[in-house]
Amino acid sequence: MRAACASFLYAVLNYGMHAGRLQTMKTRKVTVHLDRDLLRRAQGRTRQGVSATIRHGLELVAASDVYEKIRALRGKVRLSIDLGTLREDRR
C-alpha cells in the first residue's frame, strides 16, 4: 500500500514539475470547434491565450485519474506527523 501511495504522489509531483514545458513536449497541431462562450469563460479564468487555455484544460483532464486515486487513499495512509510540532512555528 505504501509503495502504491508513493508512486501516485511521485506521478503528481513529476507531472507538476514538467507541466507547461513546451520544449520537452512533443506537440501536435489540431483544429477544434469550441463554443465561443465556453472559450471566453475559460480564458477569463486562466487569463491566457487560446492555446494555453486549452493546454491547461487538457492537463487537468489528464491528471484527474491520478487525483481520484490519491483521493481513494484518504484515511488509508498513516502519517507520523505531530500537528503540535508542525504548528510551533505559528506561535
Tens-digit pLDDT profile for residues 63-81: 998 888 888 988 887 878 8
pLDDT for res 60: 92
- To the nearest 10°, report the CA torsion of 14, 31, 26, 8: 20
Higher pLDDT, 87 or 54: 54
- 26-60 per-position pLDDT tens digit: 788 899 999 999 999 999 999 999 999 999 999 99
Tell me the pLDDT band of 24, cut-offs 50, 70 and 90.
Answer: low
Cell readout for 66 is 491520478
Contact by Cβ (8 Å): 16, 91: no
pLDDT for res 16: 57
Q: Is residue 58 part of a domain?
A: yes
Range of the domain at 15: 2-76
- Residue 54: closest CA among 73, 71, 70, 35: 35
- Domain count for the chain: 1
Q: Is residue 82 part of a domain?
A: no
Q: Is residue 83 part of a domain?
A: no
